[in-house]
């Protein structure tokens, strides 16, 4: 493609080293869509004829069908997806194919392809996030009566509805979808027309190309447009966070599925056995998802590092953007898909959840709140209940097993009704502030998400 200026062929080692077709071939649909729009603008500018445009369009669509069917042969010596498609088109249709690259560079072409690709993938990922949210909502709804201890420092803290815990992840994934949608907004800008760096002396109707490719805006600086990959960084950042959230959910499930917790059972379809220990049932999906969050973070750091210190504008370093981008997109989609399915088949074990949440310590804060409502300053109430807990531990009994006389001895502010507050149901349903886990709140939030996710 640059044969004019060179005397000898490039070394085979360089060809192997620099080719990207082995991974960027997957941009072919976007590359072809971009080329058809570009050719339409060439025709509108009178640079090619209508029949030439038709030959280009038909040729590209035929190539696309062959690639779709796995019948197209990629040539590594042609470097990348852009050159492979263009060279094959020219081989088939001759001159019109050789005119296609007029007023275009691979620099603006690849920027376009990547934006088109990520725009599609952003939509798919938002849909998959919604599927995981739906599964979480369905699981919560099916077990509305289940109470579990909420944990801080992985120590039992206060009682919560199981559904409230699941809804925490629904909120996280909603913010993730918001971040992906936000990144999509900023990447949804047409870079084509920027040429290699400084546009072109041959002016094409960029507005027309933008309309054809459904871009609401045009990039406004040709140098920025060919050197910008921050749109990809933003998406990788959003995907790294999806990975972190999935990883934390994985960790919860791994703990909950252990014999020590036993709050849930993950279905056989989504667990694996051991080649050695016949009794084992391992939560591999959760562990792999937790593990894969590492590469999502790595891919983000990889691209940031690639871009750091690059002089303006396009540098070949930027070809290194694709593998991390593809890997993060593939990884997140696969993890979301399997999570949406796996969550639908999780069984909850009521006895274990009940046994864990019967821990009287979960209600200690409720007793402090009781004292506050009976006029005791909170810091003092905290100390009194601390002593109450110490007394329970000394006697080996629960808060509900102390007598009224015991309570009175600890503080005159205690009255007979203190014993009435010591139930899980009361503890949960008294937490009625918005965002708190009272059953009515949780029901309302489940209903909200069900309606939103429809």
Q: What is the C-alpha to C-alpha distance for residues 126 and 118, in angstroms, rounded to an integer?
A: 12
Comparison of 10 and 274: residue with beta carbon closer to ligand ARG? 10
CB 183 within 8 A of CB 235: yes
Comparison of 188 and 319: residue with beta carbon closer to ligand ARG? 319
Binding site for ligand ARG (CB under 6 A): 20, 24, 80, 106-107, 110, 314, 316, 318-319
Best CA proximity match to 444, nearest among 140, 60, 80? 140
Per annotation, catalytic residue among 153, 194, 357, 427: 153
Confirm whether 153 is a catalytic residue: yes
Comparison of 225 and 438: residue with beta carbon closer to ligand ARG? 225
**Least Å distance between CB 114 and ligand ARG?**
8
Comparison of 171 and 224: residue with beta carbon closer to ligand ARG? 224
**Least Å distance between CB 115 and ligand ARG?**
13
**Least Å distance between CB 75 and ligand ARG?**
14
Q: What is the C-alpha to C-alpha distance for residues 305 and 44, in angstroms, rounded to an integer?
A: 41
Comparison of 316 and 394: residue with beta carbon closer to ligand ARG? 316
**Least Å distance between CB 35 and ligand ARG?**
14
Per annotation, catalytic residue among 18, 22, 267, 274: 274
**Least Å distance between CB 328 and ligand ARG?**
17
**Least Å distance between CB 34 and ligand ARG?**
13
Comparison of 181 and 197: residue with beta carbon closer to ligand ARG? 197
Residues identified as active-site: 153, 274
């Amino acid at each position: 493609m640059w044969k004019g200026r060179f005397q000898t062929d490039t070394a085979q080692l360089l060809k192997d080293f620099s080719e990207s077709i082995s991974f960027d071939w997957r941009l072919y649909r976007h590359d072809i869509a971009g080329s058809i729009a570009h050719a339409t603008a060439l025709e509108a500018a009178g640079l090619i004829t209508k029949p030439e445009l038709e030959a280009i369009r038909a040729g590209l669509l035929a190539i696309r069908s062959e690639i779709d069917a796995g019948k197209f042969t990629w040539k590594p010596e042609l470097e990348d997806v852009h050159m492979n498609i263009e060279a094959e088109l020219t081989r088939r249709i001759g001159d019109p194919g050789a005119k296609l690259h007029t007023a275009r560079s691979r620099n603006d072409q690849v920027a376009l392809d990547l934006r088109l690709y990520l725009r599609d993938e952003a939509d798919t990922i938002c849909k998959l996030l919604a599927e995981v949210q739906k599964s979480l909502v369905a699981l919560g709804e099916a077990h509305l009566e289940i109470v579990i201890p909420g944990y801080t420092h992985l120590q039992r803290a206060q009682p919560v509805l199981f559904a409230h815990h699941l809804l925490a992840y629904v909120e996280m994934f909603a913010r993730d979808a918001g971040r992906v949608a936000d990144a999509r907004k900023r990447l949804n800008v047409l870079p084509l027309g920027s040429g290699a760096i400084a546009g072109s002396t041959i002016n094409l109707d960029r507005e027309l190309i933008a309309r054809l490719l459904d871009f609401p805006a045009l990039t406004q600086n040709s140098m920025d447009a060919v050197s910008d990959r921050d749109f990809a960084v933003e998406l990788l950042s959003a995907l790294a966070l999806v990975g972190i959230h999935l990883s934390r959910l994985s960790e919860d499930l791994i703990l909950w599925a252990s014999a020590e917790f036993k709050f849930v059972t993950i279905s056989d379809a989504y667990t694996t056995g051991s080649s050695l220990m016949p009794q084992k049932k391992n939560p591999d999906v959760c562990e792999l998802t937790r593990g894969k969050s590492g590469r999502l973070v790595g891919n983000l750091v990889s691209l940031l590092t690639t871009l750091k210190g690059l002089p303006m504008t396009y540098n070949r370093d930027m070809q290194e953007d694709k593998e991390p981008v593809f890997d993060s997109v593939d990884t997140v989609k696969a993890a979301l898909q399997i999570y949406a399915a796996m969550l639908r088949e999780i069984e909850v074990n009521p006895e274990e959840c009940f046994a864990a949440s019967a821990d009287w310590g979960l209600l200690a804060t409720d007793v402090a709140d009781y004292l506050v409502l009976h006029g005791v300053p909170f810091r003092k109430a905290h100390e009194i209940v601390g002593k109450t807990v110490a007394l329970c531990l000394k006697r080996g009994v629960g808060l509900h097993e102390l007598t009224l006389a015991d309570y009175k001895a600890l503080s005159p502010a205690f009255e007979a009704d203190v014993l009435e507050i010591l139930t899980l149901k009361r503890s949960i349903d008294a937490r009625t502030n918005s965002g708190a886990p009272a059953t009515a709140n949780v029901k309302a939030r489940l209903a909200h998400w069900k309606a939103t996710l429809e």
